[in-house]
Structure 1
Amino acid sequence: MTDAADAAAWPAVDLAQLAQEVEAAVVYDVAQVSPLQPARKLSARLGAPVWLKREDAQPVHSFKLRGAYNRIARLSPSQREAGVVAASAGNHAQGVALAGQTLGIRTTIVMPETTPSIKVDAVRALEAEVVLIGDAYDDALAHAMTLVEQRGQTFIHPYDDPWVMAGQGTVARELLDQHSDPIARVYIPVGGGGLVGGMAAYLKQRRPEIEVVAVEPVDSACLHHALAAGERVVLDQVGLFADGVAVRQIGAYPYAVARQCVDRTVQVSIDEICAAMRAVFEETRSVPEPAGALALAGLERDVMARGAAPGAMVAVVSGANINFDRLRYVAERTALGAHREALLAVTLPEQPGSFLAFCAHIGKRAVTEFNYRYADAQRAQVFVGVAIRDGDRERDALCTEFRQAGYALADLSDNEVAKEHLRHLVGGRADSLADERLFRFEFPERPGALMRFLQQLGGQWNISLFHYRNHGAAFGRVLAGFQVPDAEFETFLERLRAIGYRFWDESENPAYRLFLR
């Protein structure tokens, strides 16, 4: 090995060498040995021992400082003199800044202008120079590479670097030291792949019998799709809820390791991540960020699908840097993710006593919400939330019971329009509105996003419905209705695609048809 951390020294991934680098990694000047905590409530519920590897307990509340420090500590004297630069709006930024501060190295962090002030302030508090530029990560990355050329600084990649991977792999080294009894499965969250690459290589070299399970959001599963294709692929779009793992392409080094060391992948939904965040809170009284709870969400889904493993199961809680404003949204989705609430559209007769009769069928179950507005003299269409305990089985039984009692019913528990918008909307139908189309969007949370949207549409089509809620995240969820004649529909879609925001056509969504159309 050379003292200067030059990726060219690793022409191909050597698993034995990577495991040795994990053993030799320099991380404990900034990192601490994170707790391995038993999850007693989860263990009782799932019928198997579950453990949480608490990387949220690190000084910067994330595992990222391990890889950043191990990479920077290997710089040559001349590289240290020039300094380092990173592009990040998240945990990698704080890890690099802390490493630079500890080693006395000039550190520059390039962040999008849309980065929340709490994250900018945290990086500045670690004495790093912060450069705010552009609206998105790609803008920050481009400027960071410009600084590399202009200043001769070393770019610290968040995941696609063998020394970064080796630093992250120390999580696995600690785990094996902390748990000498058999471990059946280890669940690891995946974004760019630095953590799963370092941990998986070490685990398979030291304890090959352990099953390594990589966990991704279903809408950001870059490793899953790469393994299926047999090569790295670039996702067209990624979901932004778990922003810490919202990566379009797995790193080259992590992929080379994962294809040899990851036994399988699991994908989870937003609701399941929210439920896992609550589960971590109930076990630890700390609140992980969405990416931080990802591995536990995968563990729970996997046990539901395959059953518990014959031994301990470990989930890495990878971070806890969450904006407080996001907790409202998380709490709303948690009951659905834990399969503790059913959202139903039920048709009742428009007559006195019908609600009482309906509640009698609900029995002792709690009604979490009940939304209704008069529509006509014969029928009442109601949107109701019902608390359940036995998951999908109880939900299915409840729906069957209502139908047998003569109620027309639609189960909206997995319907994004219902969960994101309908339960917060007021008003009624628009029966006389011609040519209405309903679309769901993800807007970036930055000044001018709505104006750009409206300007691109050019005022050609009337907006008949608009609903938006701020979730304290990097994106906003919008539901909008437009009056678009059939002859103009393809032109309308072309305009939407040109704007570049993610969108879904919800014109046939049953929630819309039952309550709004």
Structure 2
Amino acid sequence: MPDVLALDAIVKRILQARVYDVAIESPLEPARLLSRRLKNTVLIKREDLQPVFSFKLRGAFNKIVKLSDNDRAKGVICASAGNHAQGVALAAKTLGIKGVIVMPQTTPDIKVNAVRALGGQVVLHGDSYDDAFAHAQTLMSEKGYTFVHPFDDPEIIAGQGTVAVEILRQHQGAIDAIFVPVGGGGLMAGVAAYIKYVRPSVRVIAVEAEDSACLAAAMKAGKRVTLDQVGLFADGVAVKQIGKHTFDIAKVCIDEVITCSTDEMCAAIKDIFDECRCISEPAGALSLAGLKKYVQRDGVQGQTLIAINSGANMNFDRLRHIAERTEVGEGREAVLAVTIPEQAGAFKAFCQAIGKRNVTEFNYRFSDSSEAHVFVGLTVRNGAEERAELVAGLQRKGYAVLDLSDDEMAKLHTRHLVGGHAGLADERLFRFEFPERPGALMAFLTQLGTQWNISLFHYRNHGAAYGRVLVGLQLGSRSLKELKSSLDAVGYPYSDESSNPAYQLFLR
């Protein structure tokens, strides 16, 4: 049970927060299709309908409007490439003060133009958020601006907490759990503090992306930790360290933390589209992904569950990647590597073994005269359980089957590369994240040098800040240690995929 006295001051700030000069009271809408499917009452808090398509303007305005006249006259500054930037820009414009937004030079034009349209003075600096943040600190010292933190500030937390005030006013009946997306924790802290103070019996569940789970790591360690790196698919929650203020609140107000995969977020984006005909950003759909995982894990029925759709600032180019991953995330597609005899009639026999399932993908190219490795996608209806039955059924019929449904490299790259083996004994395979900016590939090649031969290269633009790249490099007469030393010097995050079974079957 949280310390009520400790929460009292936070809740007082929330009740005194000023947000409606710029924000709307977003609707709490029933998700009828999901409710029927999950056998629970599912409600979605539509923060994607805010004027900047995100909850972020609540905290930004509350922070700025509480500044002294002197501080407001000097102007405000923030570092952001996303929703916080738009929130600060709109708040500053509404209050008639100068708002400086420092953004990395790699920021997509759609976001830069959105901030400028809201009246923000955009300063493009550096290639990363860290570069932009450092430059914002420099400008703050030189010009006397007030820095508006994206999450770790009491007034920011209070502004975001107004979401919880609205939820309890809009649904006065029983609520079993509220699911909140977490990056730095501003929304989570505000919602959790208010809910636990007013309705302590309601479970507040934080939801993080698996590859940026800084709160889960902090909860486990009992203190804030800094992640070495974070995934960028859900860029709205891609934070390496939970905030100090927000973690203090989380420790006493959060019932549990659930983490979700990229595929689970993609499936939740589709669910929100099916319910509301709106396209959520990955971070916006994160809480619904957590809600679905919670229901599946615990088998709960007849409960009232609320997910906060925190935003809809989605780059259009990302939709193809999301659509591709949705069926796997929902457990409706099995991605398999199947070995069949290289002989006449083998394809037909395999299709008969599959039965009347819908084939979503079928990739094959001749490799040798004895056997063939087929990369196949098949529709399943009941997730992992049916997938396991499918694999077991094929194995009983004599097929060697490898389930690749959870293999990130297979889903990102291999399915687009199936085309025969190179037969290079000295090849090593690496998966990189490249910043999406002009010259990134040339910078990579320049830093790598000419001593390594590139034997495979696959890249797809997914509309994110970082591109996923698969690279094969030949060792020649040099050692693996030397190669990895060269890759470390390049500075891009990478992982060694040389032992990946999809590579061994289809590309080696």
- Matched with 1:93 is 85
- Is the partner of 2:206 in helix, strand or coil? strand
Paired with 1:442 and 1:115, the residues of 2 have a C-alpha distance of: 16
Paired with 2:89 and 2:364, the residues of 1 have a C-alpha distance of: 52
- Matched with 1:268 is 260
Tell me by how many angstroms 1:309 deviates: 6.0
Q: Following superposition of structure 1 onto structure 2, how do residues 191-202 of structure 1 map, counting pairs within 5 Å?
A: 191-202=183-194
- Contact 2:230–2:240, Cα closer than 8 Å, also in 1: yes
| Aligned partner letter, 2:501 | P
- Contact 2:38–2:301, Cα closer than 8 Å, also in 1: no
- Matched with 1:482 is 473
| Aligned partner letter, 1:129 | Q
- Contact 2:75–2:99, Cα closer than 8 Å, also in 1: yes
Tell me by how many angstroms 1:498 deviates: 2.3
- Is the partner of 1:377 in helix, strand or coil? coil
- Matched with 1:74 is 66
Tell me by how many angstroms 1:308 deviates: 2.0
Q: Following superposition of structure 1 onto structure 2, how do residues 277-426 of structure 1 map, counting pairs within 5 Å?
A: 277-308=269-300, 311-426=303-418
| Aligned partner letter, 2:257 | T
For residue 204 of structure 1, the aligned residue among 192, 196, 199 is 196
Paired with 1:444 and 1:79, the residues of 2 have a C-alpha distance of: 36
- Is the partner of 1:256 in helix, strand or coil? helix
Paired with 1:427 and 1:391, the residues of 2 have a C-alpha distance of: 29
Rate the CA distance shift 1:486–1:239 in 2: closer, same or farther, 3 A: farther
Moved more, 299-308 or 32-41: 299-308
Paired with 1:406 and 1:471, the residues of 2 have a C-alpha distance of: 38
- Matched with 2:32 is 40
- Contact 1:169–1:198, Cα closer than 8 Å, also in 2: yes
Pair 1:470 & 2:461 matched: yes
Pair 1:449 & 2:440 matched: yes
Tell me by how many angstroms 1:290 deviates: 0.5
| Aligned partner letter, 2:210 | V
Paired with 1:303 and 1:441, the residues of 2 have a C-alpha distance of: 34
Paired with 1:229 and 1:426, the residues of 2 have a C-alpha distance of: 42
Q: Hey, which bits of structure 1, 4+ residues long, moved more than 4 A?
A: none
- Matched with 2:488 is 497
Tell me by how many angstroms 1:487 deviates: 5.2
**Structure 1 unaligned blocks of 5 or more:** 1-12
TM-score, normalised via structure 1 length: 0.96
- Matched with 2:506 is 515
Tell me by how many angstroms 1:310 deviates: 5.4
| Aligned partner letter, 2:14 | V
- Contact 1:240–1:474, Cα closer than 8 Å, also in 2: yes
| Aligned partner letter, 1:503 | Y
Tell me by how many angstroms 1:14 deviates: 3.5
Paired with 2:203 and 2:302, the residues of 1 have a C-alpha distance of: 11
- Is the partner of 2:23 in helix, strand or coil? coil
Q: Following superposition of structure 1 onto structure 2, how do residues 234-273 of structure 1 map, counting pairs within 5 Å?
A: 234-273=226-265
- Matched with 2:158 is 166
Paired with 1:46 and 1:297, the residues of 2 have a C-alpha distance of: 12
- Contact 2:364–2:419, Cα closer than 8 Å, also in 1: no
Paired with 2:115 and 2:429, the residues of 1 have a C-alpha distance of: 41
| Aligned partner letter, 2:74 | A
Paired with 1:398 and 1:42, the residues of 2 have a C-alpha distance of: 26
- Contact 2:106–2:435, Cα closer than 8 Å, also in 1: no
- Contact 2:418–2:507, Cα closer than 8 Å, also in 1: no
Moved more, 88-97 or 139-148: 139-148
- Matched with 1:436 is 427
TM-score, normalised via structure 2 length: 0.98
- Contact 1:185–1:309, Cα closer than 8 Å, also in 2: no
Paired with 2:355 and 2:443, the residues of 1 have a C-alpha distance of: 50
- The percent identity for this pair of structures is 60
Paired with 1:341 and 1:151, the residues of 2 have a C-alpha distance of: 55
Rate the CA distance shift 1:359–1:210 in 2: closer, same or farther, 3 A: same
Q: What do residues 105-139 of structure 1 show as CA deviations (whole Å, max 9, x unaligned)? A: 11111111111111111111111111111111111
Q: What do residues 225-283 of structure 1 show as CA deviations (whole Å, max 9, x unaligned)? A: 01111111110000110000000000110001000101110001000010000011001
| Aligned partner letter, 1:476 | G
Paired with 2:39 and 2:56, the residues of 1 have a C-alpha distance of: 32
